[in-house]
Amino acid sequence: MQAVACWAGRFTPRVSLADDTVLLEIGRCLRLFGGLRALVATVADSAASLDLSVVLAVAPTPLAAHWLALSGVAVVCTAPARLGQHLDPLPVTLLPARAATALQGFGATTLGAARRLPAAALARRIGADAVCLLARAFGELPDPRPDFVFPEHFSMALPLPAAVEHAPVLVFAARRLVAALTGWLTARQVGVRTATLRLAHASGETALTLGFSEPIADAARIERVLRERLDRLTLTAPVESLRLDAVEVTARPGRDGSLFGDASGERERMGALRERLGARLGEAQVVFPAGAQRSPARVRNAVQRAAGGFAAVVNAFVTVVVTAVVTIAAASLVVAGRTGIPARGGRATVPRWAARTAGGAGAYRIGLVGRRRGGP
């Protein structure tokens, strides 16, 4: 479940584990994903792409989402007043075994039937702990949960169901490790620059180093580099398990809000191109220009020279424009005289704009937990 919990970090940093269920606190993440329905659809699509069989249930309390998901009820309930109509039909077997047996003994087989019994008699028959569980599920008592602690360093193994003899086939299996890595990176708000995929086989281990031009947490970029490396790898023995390690992890640079174009987006595209070429041709075969360090005095002198050069260019440009306009105007006068344009008073008629110019004028199974704001 640790791998699934790390994967869930892509959607929210508030993750908790309960038996075979991963609970996500999503109250503060809804706007980031465009609302509750969009977030649920994103989680479902991501789980399907990893071939995970899950049941998604959304409820105002963690235990309600847990019980609904365990019962296979895929429901989205955000109103506490309507929570009872979804929980009442659930079986009492969700309670501890002793409490469930006692309730079934006197005919109460659902949670709704158990809640209709007198509270004092119910506590004597099934115990105070079971009554508290019911109250937490229905939102009558707070239900604090310990958060899943994302590991300080990412290193995760994945045993394969069968030995794999061809390296490109490993891309799909490694996709789950990449999803866990990107979720871990997102939750910790960092990026990876170097990662290592270790292929364990009977004769030893093969290590593939994945290098990136900048700290990233994008699963698609990581998978593209991984695919390029695996497509060019010949296995010496069938692979039995995989392990992905994040070797170099640093803070990710923020995105700038430039008015004219997205500089960070252009940087990401160039970085992805460099990574793909490096994975295909080899890092030593790919060279990109890099800016040189300059002292403040040299930078100041360069700026002054650039300012003087710009003034000279502007002056030359104005001179050329004025000269060109005057020349064109004079040519227009000659053409007007030769083409026999009707004259007034024995002189050829010249367009007014030409006359003005000539005169010198200028030109121009996962349970998603949604809590209310201010709730526990």
Residues 6+ positions from 337 with CB-CB distance below 8 Å: 348
| pLDDT classification of 256: cutoffs 50, 70, 90 | low
Tell me the C-alpha distance between 181 and 9, whole Å: 9
Place of tokens 């790390």: 6
DSSP 188-239: HTEEEEEEEEEEEETTEEEEEEEEEEEEE--HHHHHHHHHHHHHT---SS-E
Give the full edge-to-edge strand order of the sheet including 366-369. Answer: 15-18, 21-25, 366-369, 56-59
Tell me the C-alpha distance between 243 and 246, whole Å: 10
Sign of the C-alpha dihedral computed for residues 76, 63, 189 and 215 taken in this order:
negative
Q: What local confidence, expressed as pLDDT, does residue 296 receive?
A: 58
Q: Is residue 259 scored above 70 in pLDDT? A: no
Tell me the C-alpha distance between 19 and 22, whole Å: 8
Q: How does DSSP classify residue 152?
A: S
| pLDDT classification of 258: cutoffs 50, 70, 90 | low
pTM of the model: 0.68
Q: What local confidence, expressed as pLDDT, does residue 329 receive?
A: 35
188-246 pLDDT per residue, tens:
999 999 999 999 998 889 999 998 888 999 999 999 999 988 988 888 899 999 999 99
Which amino acid is it at 255?
R
307-350 pLDDT per residue, tens:
555 455 445 444 444 433 433 333 333 333 333 444 444 444 44
**Mean pLDDT, residues 34-48 taken together:** 92
Which amino acid is it at 62?
P
Question: What whole-number percentage of the chain has pLDDT above 70?
Answer: 67
Tell me the C-alpha distance between 134 and 99, whole Å: 11
The dihedral region occupied by 129, where left means phi > 0, alpha psi between -120 and 50, and beta the remainder, is: alpha
Residues 6+ positions from 89 with CB-CB distance below 8 Å: 110, 111, 112
Tell me the C-alpha distance between 130 and 96, whole Å: 7
Query: Domains in the chain, ordered, with CATH?
Result: 2-137 (no CATH), 155-255+263-284 (3.30.1490.100)
